[in-house]
């Protein structure tokens, strides 16, 4: 009986940690069409912290539903999308946005394509010179 107690305890704690119903505004559109359009546009630019490859608008994760509800709630109260985005970046870091700002942590992301293209051009140019 003792051998069965630990798996049952783990199962119970896993089930207790899951939410049964998503937040009220997760999948409910706002009554004001302009506010809903603003909320959807913002949700498309925010990455789900659970799914990692999807925006919160596309994700079915509970966390994404909570974030959609939060965005709609703040839009409904009149907060600007830029302020909401900044608040979420402060809370979750620049990872949450698909367009990270240029700063000390993200400059390698912005510089890498330019460096790689320049390196490719240099290698190609030196390869063609050797062939002559």
Containing H/E element for 87?
A: helix 81-92
3-state secondary structure of 124: helix
- Confidence at residue 7, expressed as pLDDT on a 0 to 100 scale: 47
Fold of the domain built from segment(s) 22-100: Helicase, Ruva Protein; domain 3 (1.10.8)
CA distance linking residue 62 with residue 50, whole number of Å: 9
Burial of 72 (0-12, 13-18, 19+ CB in 10 A): buried
The H-or-E segment that residue 88 falls in is helix 81-92
Token couple for 71: 């965005």
Q: What pLDDT score does 40 carry?
A: 92
Consecutive sets of 10 residues in the chain, 132 residues long: mean pLDDT of each?
48 44 65 89 90 84 89 92 92 82 76 92 88 71
pLDDT of residue 92: 86
What local confidence, expressed as pLDDT, does residue 24 receive? Answer: 63
């Amino acid at each position: 009986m003792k051998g069965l107690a630990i798996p049952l305890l783990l199962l119970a704690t896993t089930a207790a940690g899951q939410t049964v119903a998503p937040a009220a505004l997760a999948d409910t559109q706002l009554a004001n069409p302009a506010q809903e359009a603003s909320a959807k546009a913002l949700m498309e630019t925010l990455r789900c912290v659970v799914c990692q490859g999807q925006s919160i608008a596309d994700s079915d994760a509970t966390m994404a539903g909570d974030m959609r509800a939060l965005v709609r709630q703040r839009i409904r109260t009149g907060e600007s999308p830029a302020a909401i985005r900044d608040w979420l970046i402060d809370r979750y870091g620049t990872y949450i946005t698909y367009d990270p700002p240029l700063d000390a942590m993200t400059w390698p992301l912005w510089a890498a394509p330019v460096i790689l293209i320049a390196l490719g051009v240099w290698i190609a140019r030196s390869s063609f010179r050797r062939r002559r």
